[in-house]
Copies of this chain bind each other. A is one copy, B any other.
């Protein structure tokens, strides 16, 4: 299965996915391309170093629809079948979502539906939760809203700041994202209502 990864920043989840594919922890997969909407995203160099083609598709004051159409075109040209968002900081348009039905995945650093949107770890600290975590989910056109594939909980202590909580969650993000992709690539999955069910 050909995977395309979208980034906007350092791409730490991108790196985790590339290395898991390389090491066959996600078998029968290949990372075909990494696309960034920011030309100076730190993840671009990390992808190149690992032998992955990289493209920058800048926003250039275009509408979301125009920008997304170019990204979809680049993905389709390369036969990408599964799109992974890894710190990609733009909401996808309906047309993008419809171009890859149930084939776009994201990870978010909270236990959704708590704390969608930016700075989820800061939101969790400010709310005073004792448990937060991360969520791998399918992407729809609403923010951090699609059907949930996997979640992992993380304890929040009184000593935690937004930074320490982010670091704790990030460790789990890498393993959770890889585990979700292994399931998605390796088996058939169905979304029943909002529930993601894997067939053996």
Write 29 A-B pairs (CB below 8 A) sorted by A numbering. Answer: A111-B111, A111-B129, A111-B131, A112-B114, A112-B129, A113-B114, A113-B115, A113-B127, A113-B129, A126-B193, A126-B194, A127-B148, A128-B147, A128-B148, A128-B193, A128-B194, A128-B195, A128-B196, A129-B148, A129-B151, A130-B135, A130-B151, A131-B133, A131-B152, A131-B153, A133-B153, A153-B153, A158-B195, A158-B197
**Digit string of A177-200 for contact with B (CB within 8 Å is 1, else 0)?**
000000000000000011111000
A111-158 CB contacts (< 8 Å) to partner B: 111-115, 126-131, 133, 135, 147-148, 150-153, 158
Interface size, chain A (Cβ < 8 Å): 25
A residues neighboring B (CB under 8 Å): 111-115, 126-131, 133, 135, 147-148, 150-153, 158, 193-197
